[in-house]
Structure 1
Amino acid sequence: MPMLSAYLLVSHGSHDPRPEIAMSHLAFSVQSRFQKIESQQDKISYSKYAGGVAAPPQCETKYETVGTAYLELQPQPLHLQIVEFAQNILSRSTEQSLHLKILPLFLLAGVHVMEDIPTEVEAAQRILGDNVVIDLQPYIGCHGGLVDLVRLQKNSIRAQKYILLAHGSRRPGFEHHTETLAANLGLTTAYWAVQPKLESRVKEFASSGYREIAVIPYFLFAGGITDAIETTIEKLELQFPGVSLKLAQPLGVNEEFADLIWDYLHK
């Protein structure tokens, strides 16, 4: 039996409007990639019937739908957002079943990724029943292609030392992927919410005589935390005269990130 396909990008949620705007742009970019591939496939299929030998099959092209949802700070809990998204897809189609891939746009294996999101997905599955198959994908921080995006961040700034600044988590083992990624690129890790903090890393490098330090934010989008990071950097420059601190852009600001997500979902 034919089954529709749809994709849902899930992020944390924020009081700041910028991450939600960025998520909408990201979903549009990813869906555009699906549409481009399907359009090319339609042209190939149509060409088989060229020359008047036979008429091409009469069917409407079904582009995959890419949506967004949020774990927190929304009127509805995540599981109801998932249910609403799936039901909306089915209501606009003659198909009665749906394969829904959910991709958590989280960079660390913290409590949200390992506990909260799976619980919400299970609740949504119970409500939707057997007509919707929910496929929870590994969080985006697992993707090997992230190393290339972080390398782009690093290469955008010339410095003597580079600090990869991630959020951090209270869940043991959260730092595994971050530490591995940093080691592969010659970066030193620091965390916003746990030790070692950005301040201690800057003090360590400044005391060792380094005068050009770059901070690579291991965050997807600009928002309240990246603003706070900028403020902290300004204070650190006052605290350490003669030290130049440069801040790179977040990961999700370029089209390469949309390519990475499309590749992840298109497997």
Structure 2
Amino acid sequence: MQLQSAYLLVSHGSRDPRPQIEVEKLAESIARQVQIHRFERLGVPESQRFYPGKLAASWVTVASALKPSIGTACLELAPMSLHEQIEQFGKSAIASGCELLQIIPLFLLPGVHVMEDIPAEVATAQKTFGSKLTVETRPYIGSHPGFSQLLAKQKTYLQADAWILLSHGSRRQGGNQAMETLATQLGAIPAYWSVPPTLELQVKNLVMAGYQSIGILLCFLFAGGITDAIAQSMKEIKQQFPDVNFQLAEPIGASAELVNLILELTRE
């Protein structure tokens, strides 16, 4: 049987437990879909795919081998550095017969973390494995051509005359260009939480332009400390402009659409 890949989802890390809970849900959903794809490729009958105890004897070993190795790791705020987390997970991947470990960056912008920090940690881990395991970094989520559809879906639940696309933002030169392009595709103007132009500034610009109904699309994967702070900021903005109708979208979340997008960024 062909040896399979292992997958490691790498998120930023947070003191708030909610993002990690969502990352774990995402990992479970991805594992389920990967296993389905492997069953289909080998022609395992659908009625027998998820019940190892009921499988014919010839399928028992197959079912065990088809169970994917998927883990999660954090770039920051973790007990171990990222390369140590990769090394730890990589050892279990090797033990399960994997020759390729795919690192999946759960990031939306090509900032310092994506372009410098993660590649450096992966390179350090690769030295540990030598030829036993190839560690390969897949494209970050925000680079997928279909990523805009996840944000466009937010618009279907809201009604507004003008739109702001709010993301964390990057201080890396050129790091926000992709978000500005995405905002244009969505018929929105960009705003950033960590760099200008800020949400408050862009709201003021739209109000001065005469808009009385403004929707804010959130380019964040999961709810957490930042989205809480955004909600609080919106309360303050509403007090400044009581006659304006504001609509605040939810984060993307561990949706089926996100799972499919991530799978398209990986390779079997």
TM-score, normalisation: structure 2: 0.90
Q: Decide whether the 8 Å contact of 1:80 with 1:124 is kept in 2.
A: yes
Would you say the 8 A contact 2:139–2:265 is kept in 1?
no
Question: Mean alpha-carbon deviation: is it higher for 163-172 or for 253-262?
Answer: 253-262
| Secondary structure of the structure 1 residue equivalent to 2:23 | helix
> What residue number does 1:23 align with?
23
Any residues of structure 2 matched to 1:54-203 within 5 Å, and which? Answer: 59-61=61-63, 62=65, 63-91=67-95, 93=96, 95=97, 98-203=99-204
The separation in 1 between residues aligned to 2:226 and 2:45, in whole angstroms, is: 48
Verify the 8 A CA contact 1:86 1:98 in the aligned structure 2.
no
Aligned-residue RMSD, C-alpha: 2.0
Instruction: State the secondary structure of the residue aligned to 2:19.
Output: helix
Q: Deviation at 1:203?
A: 0.6
**Structure 2 residue 11 is the aligned partner of structure 1 residue 11:** yes
Judge conservation of contact 1:100–1:134 (CA < 8 Å) in 2: yes
CA distance in structure 2 between the partners assigned to 1:14 and 1:253 by the alignment: 17
- Give 1:57 shift: 8.3
Amino acid at match of 1:20: Q
Question: Which whole-Å CA distance do the structure 2 matches of 1:177 and 1:153 have between them?
Answer: 19
CA drift of 1:58 comes to: 8.1
What amino acid does structure 2 have at the position aligned with 1:262? L
- Quick one: which amino acid aligns to residue 243 of structure 1? V
Name the amino acid aligned to 2:80: Q
Are positions 1:206 and 2:210 aligned together?
no
Distance 1:36 1:253 in 2: 18
2:266 pairs with 1:265 = yes
The structural deviation recorded for 1:44 is 5.4
* Structure 1 residues 160 and 58: alpha-carbon distance in aligned structure 2, compared to 1, 3 A threshold: closer
What CA distance in whole angstroms lies between the structure 2 residues aligned with 1:150 and 1:188?
A: 13
Q: Which runs of 5+ in 1 are unaligned?
A: 47-54
Q: Which moved more, 1:2-11 or 1:131-140?
A: 2-11
1:32/1:236 Cα in 2 relative to 1: closer, same or farther (>3 Å)? Answer: same
CA distance in 2, matches of 1:9, 1:100: 11
Q: How many residues align?
A: 256
Preserved contact between residue 164 and residue 214 of structure 2 (Cα < 8 Å): yes
Counterpart of 2:43 in structure 1 is 43
Give the Cα separation in 1 of the matches to 2:120 and 2:253: 26
Q: What's the secondary structure of 1:131's corresponding residue?
A: coil
Q: Equivalent residue of 1:15, what SS?
A: coil
Q: Which runs of 5 or more structure 2 residues have no equivalent in the other structure?
A: 47-56
Instruction: Report the CA distance shift for 1:159/1:58 in structure 2 as closer, same or farther (over 3 A).
Output: closer
Tell me the distance in 2 between the aligned counterparts of 1:58 and 1:169: 49
* SS of equivalent to 1:190: strand
Scaled by the length of structure 1, the TM-score of the pair is 0.90
